[in-house]
Structure formats: C-alpha cells, structure tokens
Chains A and B, each alone.
Chain A
C-alpha cells in the first residue's frame, strides 16, 4: 500500500520563477493538506483540499500561492514569482476524512537562488 507521494523531492528555482509541487495521496484518501516547514520552525498549515474543492486556505499567503486538487491527478501547490523567503520544505498529508490522523509524504525541499 503506497504511502503519500510527493515530487519532486528537491526543487531549485531562481527568484521570479514558478514552482509546482505535486502530491498524490494514499489510496483511499480524498482529503489533502499542505504544510510548510521553515528552518528552526514547526510545521505550519497552509491549505486543506478535497477533490475539486478548497475547504480551508487560511494558512496560505494571499498572493503568489495557489493550490488545487482536480478530479483526476495529483494535488498541486503552485508558487508564482518565488522569492528567497519561499525556501522551505513543503509537506503534503492525506487522510480518509477530516477527523482522522494525517499521513505525511516525504516532502519537497524548495531552494530559491
């Protein structure tokens, strides 16, 4: 039973470029969450999605960041016009429902040069 999959594992972007992070949830899970982990800080919630719906994006910056979870395919976290402060590890988690434990993927480490 494959776990949560994320790709790429490492991503390097120059300032001003776009970053696209992908997440495939565990089989049978239709709830996806994105978190960001900055150096020396804890994991911070960004957004919660179900298939084709954004349920809670209260933790996501208002500009440059967007997320989707289409009917077919992985969830995508998109960061436009990246800046150095976006460098972090981005983790995706999935669950079978909002009241269940969340299972995390291996993360995408974004470096902005």
Chain B
C-alpha cells in the first residue's frame, strides 16, 4: 500500500528563519510527487510536481527537491503569509494510478 509520511506535524518559525519540511514516501513506482498548500477553510492549492530523483522546482521562497525515498520543501526567509498547511501527495504507477495518496500535512506558522 502506498504511504506518505510528513514531518514535522507542526513547525513554528520566525519571519526570515529558513527551514525545510520533509515528505517520506513508499510506493511501488512513482509517477509523480506533488506539493500543495492549504489555507484554513479552503481547498488545496497546487504548488509543484516532481517526477524523478534529483529534480528541483522553485517558486518565490519555496523550493522542492526529490530523492528516491523523500522530498523536501525548503522555505527561504519565510513571511507570515507563508503560514499554511503544506501537503505532500504521491501518484503511483500501475494499478490504480489515478488517485493521489496524501500525507497528513505540516502546519507551518510564521511569526512576524
């Protein structure tokens, strides 16, 4: 069974204090790994897709990286508006390769 584990469950940072969120996954074969941001009371907002080990994607203060077993979401000099829950999901190959399997998320709070 596909599994996604995110750590830490919650992270509190001061504005400007860089850090990383971790997403460990176990799948039979990886078609893609996705990062989403979810604000309270809203739907997940797509951030990145990563397809192969070594791949990196960047958007503003966020950079996502991928290895064969995990992905990191690096946040550089975060601002209070980066506060949200960050979700990681995998899209497995073979069989039911339509669904995304999500982790429980990391709740990020950035204090001014």
Task: Mark A residues whose CB is within 8 Å of B.
Answer: 4, 6, 33, 35, 40-45, 48, 55-56, 58-59, 91, 98-99, 101-107
In whole angstroms, what is the CA distance A46 to B12 when docked? 32
Q: Which residues of A contact B102 (CB under 8 A)?
A: 35, 42-44
12 further A-B pairs in the complex, CB-CB below 8 A; given A56-B99, A59-B99, A102-B46: A33-B98, A43-B100, A43-B102, A48-B98, A58-B99, A91-B44, A101-B32, A104-B44, A104-B45, A106-B42, A107-B42, A107-B43
B contact residues, range: 20 to 34
Give the contacts of B16-51 with A (CB-CB under 8 A). 31-32, 34, 36, 42-46, 49
Closest-by-CB residue of B relative to A46 is B99
Minimum C-beta distance from A100 to chain B (A): 8
A43 and B87 within 8 A (CB):
yes
B74 contacts chain A at the CB level, 8 A cutoff = no
B97 interface residue, CB < 8 Å from A? Answer: yes
Residue contact B100 to A45, C-beta cutoff 8 Å: yes
23 A-B residue pairs with CB within 8 Å: A35-B100, A35-B102, A42-B4, A42-B103, A42-B104, A43-B44, A43-B100, A45-B100, A56-B99, A58-B96, A91-B43, A98-B98, A99-B32, A101-B32, A102-B46, A102-B100, A104-B36, A104-B44, A104-B45, A105-B43, A106-B42, A107-B42, A107-B43
Q: Out of A6, A35, A44, A103, name the residue touching B46 (CB < 8 Å).
A: A103
| Closest chain A residue, CB of each to CB of B103 | A42
CB atoms of B99 and A45 under 8 A apart: yes
State A102–B35 Cα separation when bound (angstroms). Answer: 11
If the complex has contacts A56-B99, A58-B96, A59-B99, are A42 and B45 also in contact, measured as CB distance less than 8 A?
no
Shortest CB-to-CB span from B25 to chain A, Å, is 13
A102 vs B43: C-alpha distance in the bound complex, in angstroms? 12
Rounded to whole angstroms, the CA-CA distance of A41 and B6 in the bound complex is 12
Determine whether B78 belongs to the interface, using a CB cutoff of 8 Å to chain A: no
Could you tell me the distance in whole angstroms from the C-beta of B67 to the nearest C-beta in chain A?
Answer: 20
* Cα-based distance from A95 to B64 in the complex (angstroms): 22
Cα of A2 to Cα of B49 in the assembled complex, Å: 22
